[in-house]
Amino acid sequence: MLLRFCAQIVKFLKKILYILLIVFVCPTFFAQAQKKPRIENLPKYDIRPYHFGFLLGVNKMDFVIKNSAQIDTANPIMTIKSDPQFGFNIGIVSDLKLGSHFDLRFIPGLSFGERRLEYNLRNDSGIVTALKKIESTFIDFPLVLKYKSARLTNTRAYVISGIKYSIDLASQAGKKDQNNNDLVKLKRNDWSTEFGVGFDFYLEYFKFSVEIKMAYGIRDLLVRDDTPYTSSINRLNSKITLISFLFE
């Protein structure tokens, strides 16, 4: 357990280091690159009180699992782990200017993806693996605050933070399995906190942005029925990484 905890800490610190490199090193690079005189694209873009656009993105859907603290010898489940999968996102960007450095953004969209739970079970023949696939199609309603740096000719960096409400159209919470298989069901609604970093690039005719953000679910998603696959889990939260390309 100690080694696993240390490995998670190291992994988290690496992510923080990468974010710091993006936030502090990349703007310095762009500043050096823009010492030469360059033409400023879309000079009146930031004067507008609001603007719109669209988003295309790639996501990686995952779970944060808290296993049951009680060990039940009658339960065949030995270990549970999440196997994250890739999906894609589309959305509509609505941006309201709050000041020279702050914007309020509402980006409703659709998220398509799949998550998998891998169970190691013991039986008479030894240890076997059971894989439970959970498909999701979310309607997302994120509301985020964007803090942006000063514009360097045609580039600026920014950070975002906010909250998101999601509806899973593929939720099987109220369904029964016709094949007598034990389903792992998730609740239909979820709330998440979001934070991320990105860069705006002012092109000749539009603004292009690249953004990476994390979303951590607040609500316990697991629908508990009387099966070993759910009784072994104390809490199941959503965790989604999203790389987005925005055209505004």
Domain regions of the chain by residue span: 1-34, 48-247
- For the chain, give the longest Cα–Cα distance: 75
pTM of the model: 0.77
Residue 84: name the closest of 111, 117, 58 by CA: 117
Provide the pLDDT for residue 13.
Answer: 46
Query: Are 24 and 73 spatial neighbours (Cβ–Cβ below 8 Å)?
Result: no
CATH topology of domain 48-247: Porin (2.40.160)
Phi first, then psi: give them for residue 2, nearest 5 degrees.
-65, -45
Count of other CB atoms within 10 angstroms of residue 219:
15
Among 12-21, 30-39, 146-155, the range scoring the smallest mean pLDDT is 12-21
Q: Is residue 121's pLDDT more than 50?
A: yes
Mind listing the pLDDT tens digit for each residue in 174-209?
666 555 467 788 999 999 999 999 999 999 999 999
Cα separation, 248 vs 111, in Å, equals: 20
Pick the closest to residue 245 from 13, 89, 65, 137 (CA basis): 89
Give one DSSP letter per residue of 76-95, joined into a string.
-EEEEEEEEEEEEEEEEEEE
Q: Is the predicted pLDDT of residue 172 greater than 60, yes or no? A: yes
